[in-house]
Structure 1
Amino acid sequence: MSKRNDNRPGYKKTKVGWIPKERGVGRLKDVCGKPVSGYSLKGGNRPAKQGEHGVLKLSCIQNGRFVPTENKFVKGNGVTKLRTPVRKGTLLVSRSNTDELVGAVCFVDRDFPYIYLSDLIWEVSGFNDSDPNFRWLTYLLCSDYYRAQIVARANGTSGSMKKITKPSFLGLSIPLPLVSEQKKIAEILSTWDTAIEQTRKLIDAKHRLKKALM
């Protein structure tokens, strides 16, 4: 965590660093329910089309963003085995992946009734609709500090794949600002993300135009 608030008046030292005195510290398990996973199927070599069913791939979680098209089309009897559709307002977690990506998270901003979790992806939800703000929690868990904490808690004998357990993930200590503060922080960071994404699209469009004219 940043050291800019060390010994600053109005701040206190905690296990997650220096935070405002009025803020508390808790664990993920204090504000999140038990993670729920899905069922993995072989699936097809393409994503599901509209009205079809699909099961998520690990690549659906990209830098805090949910990419629903990263799924495998499921047909026939396989559809009856799907059990956990992607729901609005939840956090998705990659419970098994490489060192760099194990425990990666993203926020889901709408329902996807035909897209389902695999057994390698958890859904995490709160105990109620407002605590915590899951957009804020996504930004927190994507920070360098928490990425390092999550990777350190992962284990596995494979040289390429690591796993994190539910107790290890839910045992993470986190600061607990007021929900109103969480929402404001998430709004500011989301605005920046939108601006960055729009800039990226403009640059890509410029490159395509330049290539077409050459």
Structure 2
Amino acid sequence: MKSELNKAVSMKDSGIERLSEVPEYWEARRLKDILTYTKGYAFKSEDFVDSGTPVVKATDIKQYRILEPTSFINSSTIESYKKVLLKKNDIVIATVGSQPNIVDSAVGQLARIDEKTAGSLLNQNTLIIRIKTKRISNKFIYYILISEFFRQHLSLIARGTANQSSIKVSETLEYLLFLPPFDEQEAIAHYLDTKTDQIDRKIDLLTQKAALYGNLKQSLINETVTRGLDKSVPMKDSEIKWLGDVPEHWDIKRLKDVIENLESGVSVNAENLPAQIDEYGILKTSCVNKYGFNPIENKTILPEEISRAKCSPRQGSIIISRMNTPELVGASGFVDKDYPKLFLPDRLWQTVFHRNPRINSKWLSYLLSVTRLKEVISFSATGSSPSMKNLAQEDFLCIKIFTPPLSEQKAIADYLDTKTAKIDQIIQIINTQIEKLKELRKTLINDVVTGKIKVV
């Protein structure tokens, strides 16, 4: 099967600016005319159990996939919920979320149900979409719904704030699309399956490659921070369970010996869009992760809330996540400069060092990212929820660490800065390749489902 620019076929004005022209013989239809829908069921909290039949929630629908289920109901009650029992090839769409421009959590997230997810139930704030007739290809409609043109339609009808938006079913189903004959729909769907699978395989390989370089970076940090640059020096038992042997001349301390205080800000109301140069932002907890501090991860503070914000990131400090998932609680990042227009929420800490701590803060930031120490920090966090843990200041500050002489700390930090920068550069090149492939995938779908490229 091959494709070519659709020059041989007569085109007509679609009447829709975003679509421009479509093949003359394609038929205009609205979604409401070709499909049926069922709203998800509003399960009560007491309905959920530890295991049983999976329940797909709106938040489980991400980037055209269904996440691994975390909610279940008793399988013996499944007969009561037949209307929301998912079948293979059903299309599900979330009717709540953030504004459509916030990709990962946008309202209108959708996915096509595979064999693995079939048999699950669908929770509220969602729709099950099924095609009315066998003369319309389910897979072709799915590709239309993941096209940029449908996303643009959702952005026009979404109501609410950046953090919490919704779409009305009636407005969603008013979407105007153009249908080729059934055989061509099937050919287009098959063509896109083949081409997108090829692109996805390349993306997966590049993603694995980036992960390998990420692991290399982590191993380099682990080895260098815990063993130093000179591998010939005598070693001693650190008497710290997570650490093992360290160079003989290194001292054992607690974090509170170098950190005098952990300050935090307050949570304020904000729009879920990064602050512009003339605006003020509140940092998200996602501003610190296993890769360090990312100031772009912030939300624009509402004008009436600015006076409440406090505690801006300071150059040379370390920001720490005190409340997060078990994997990310204790995540930290070094602050490279002052950010006077950004502020910490109450879920983030910022280090305040003793006046003469004999500590290089960049070295300490590398230490806090050592895998085994992160495990210790995560283990010391508490909380009844399996998905959210909280660090107490005293527990964190009592954690034992080791400290090389100040000059050696600086040498280690400088060495890691140089080495990790080179690895980061390689990862960035790979990520750029991934983004180009994603853009190619998106453009291909847009052009094929609107007849700009003819599938022969």
Structure 2 unmatched runs, 5+: 1-221, 445-456
SS at match of 1:113: coil
Does residue 195 of structure 1 match 2:419? no
Mapped to 2, the partners of 1:208 and 1:53 lie a distance apart of 29
Other-structure match for 1:144: 371
**Aligned equivalent of 1:112, options 315, 339, 344:** 339
Distance 1:194 1:80, change over 3 A: same
Other-structure match for 2:79: none
Aligned pairs for 1:56-67 within 5 A:
56-67=283-294
Kindly indicate whether the alpha-carbon contact (under 8 Å) linking 2:261 and 2:353 is maintained by their aligned counterparts in 1.
no
Deviation at 1:85, TM superposition (A): 0.8
1:89-142 alpha-carbon deviations (Å, 9 max, x no partner): 000000000000001111001000000000000001322377311111111111
Structure 1 letter corresponding to 2:273: R
Mapped to 1, the partners of 2:358 and 2:295 lie a distance apart of 25
Does residue 25 of structure 1 match 2:248? no
Kindly indicate whether the alpha-carbon contact (under 8 Å) linking 2:289 and 2:328 is maintained by their aligned counterparts in 1.
no
**Aligned equivalent of 2:262, options 12, 16, 35:** 35
Mapped to 2, the partners of 1:147 and 1:84 lie a distance apart of 25
Mapped to 1, the partners of 2:424 and 2:248 lie a distance apart of 35
Deviation at 1:75, TM superposition (A): 2.3
Does residue 12 of structure 1 match 2:239? no
Kindly indicate whether the alpha-carbon contact (under 8 Å) linking 1:64 and 1:138 is maintained by their aligned counterparts in 2.
no
Mapped to 2, the partners of 1:25 and 1:157 lie a distance apart of 32
Aligned pairs for 1:155-166 within 5 A:
155-166=382-393
Kindly indicate whether the alpha-carbon contact (under 8 Å) linking 2:257 and 2:357 is maintained by their aligned counterparts in 1.
no
Structure 2 letter corresponding to 1:116: F
Mapped to 2, the partners of 1:98 and 1:183 lie a distance apart of 32
Aligned pairs for 1:48-127 within 5 A:
48-127=275-354
Q: Percent identity?
A: 35
Kindly indicate whether the alpha-carbon contact (under 8 Å) linking 1:91 and 1:138 is maintained by their aligned counterparts in 2.
yes
Deviation at 1:209, TM superposition (A): 6.0
- Corresponding residue pairs, total: 211
Mapped to 1, the partners of 2:429 and 2:291 lie a distance apart of 21
Deviation at 1:201, TM superposition (A): 2.3
Higher Cα Rg, which structure: 2
Structure 2 letter corresponding to 1:10: P
Structure 1 unmatched runs, 5+: none
Other-structure match for 1:131: 358
SS at match of 2:266: coil
Kindly indicate whether the alpha-carbon contact (under 8 Å) linking 1:15 and 1:173 is maintained by their aligned counterparts in 2.
no
Distance 1:195 1:79, change over 3 A: same
Mapped to 2, the partners of 1:151 and 1:163 lie a distance apart of 9
Structure 2 letter corresponding to 1:180: S
Kindly indicate whether the alpha-carbon contact (under 8 Å) linking 2:263 and 2:349 is maintained by their aligned counterparts in 1.
yes
Mapped to 2, the partners of 1:18 and 1:90 lie a distance apart of 28
Other-structure match for 2:450: none
Greater mean deviation of Cα atoms: 130-139 or 186-195: 130-139
Kindly indicate whether the alpha-carbon contact (under 8 Å) linking 2:258 and 2:357 is maintained by their aligned counterparts in 1.
no
SS at match of 1:55: strand
1:28-70 alpha-carbon deviations (Å, 9 max, x no partner): 0001121001000121020110021111101100224211011
Distance 1:77 1:190, change over 3 A: same
Mapped to 2, the partners of 1:48 and 1:129 lie a distance apart of 35
Structure 2 letter corresponding to 1:90: S
Q: Higher RCO, 1 or 2 (CA under 8 Å, sep at least 6)?
A: 1
